[in-house]
Amino acid sequence: MKKEVSVTARMCVAIAAAVFAFTCGEANAAELAGTSRLAAEFQATAESDLLVLGPVDLVEPSKSRVQILGQWVTISDRQMTQPLEGLVGHVLAVYGSLNAEGAFEVSSVHEQTSTDYVAGATRLYLKGSVAALDNLHATARIGSLSVSYSNALHTLARTTYQ
């Protein structure tokens, strides 16, 4: 069991690095592997309590929740000052922790000053549990988001466990 957790944890880090590199647009595998500013910034973000940073795709006001990058986030009235209905397309940063089942436990939500999402220019971030891996197509599913990690495969080192 410990081996599976270790492999999954490494895969999550590799996927997160691949997603981060893809969304930043200026990163390459060498920068992520080295001690570049981008790698240090990613490390600091990964160690923070930031859960998801991205545009609101859907809103369910009756359940007090929004969908960001395929993840449903429950938001209390004290965490947002404006109605949820007006948040579609706005970029939110959600902070908190993951519980044992991989669900978000939200401590705070902050609307970013630049409220509009621009594909390829807006920085995105997602921390979560990998729900499924498709090794054949090199994709991982986190919530309802499917992430391709095929471009990061050349940077992954094979590890043999005894």
Band the pLDDT of 1: cuts 50, 70, 90. Answer: very low
| Within a domain: 161 | no
Q: Which residues span the domain enclosing 46?
A: 2-155
Residue 5 pLDDT more than 60? no
Residue bearing tokens 């929004």: 66
Nearest to 17 by CA among 48, 51, 50, 41: 41
Q: Name the token pair of 141.
A: 């599913």
pLDDT digits (tens, 9 = 90+) for 93-140: 999 998 888 889 999 998 887 666 778 888 888 998 888 999 888 999
Q: Note whether 154 and 23 are within 8 A (CB).
A: no
Residue 19 pLDDT more than 80? no
User: How many structural domains are present in the chain?
Assistant: 1
Nearest to 122 by CA among 47, 44, 56: 56
Q: What angle do CA 10, 12, 13 make, to 5 degrees?
A: 65
pLDDT at 8: 43
Neighbours of 103 (CB within 10 A): 16
Q: Any idea how long the chain is? A: 162
| Within a domain: 47 | yes
| Within a domain: 39 | yes
Q: Can you give the pTM of this predicted structure?
A: 0.68
pLDDT at 84: 82
pLDDT at 155: 61
By DSSP bridging, strand 125-126 and strand 104-111 are unpaired
pLDDT at 44: 84
DSSP for residue 12:
H
Task: Indicate the SS3 state at residue 51.
Answer: strand
DSSP for residue 10:
H
pLDDT at 15: 47
| Within a domain: 160 | no
Task: Sort residue 143 into left (φ over 0), alpha (ψ -120 to 50) or beta.
Answer: left
pLDDT at 161: 53
Q: Name the token pair of 40.
A: 């240090």
pLDDT digits (tens, 9 = 90+) for 25-77: 444 455 445 557 777 787 888 888 999 999 999 999 999 999 999 999 998 87
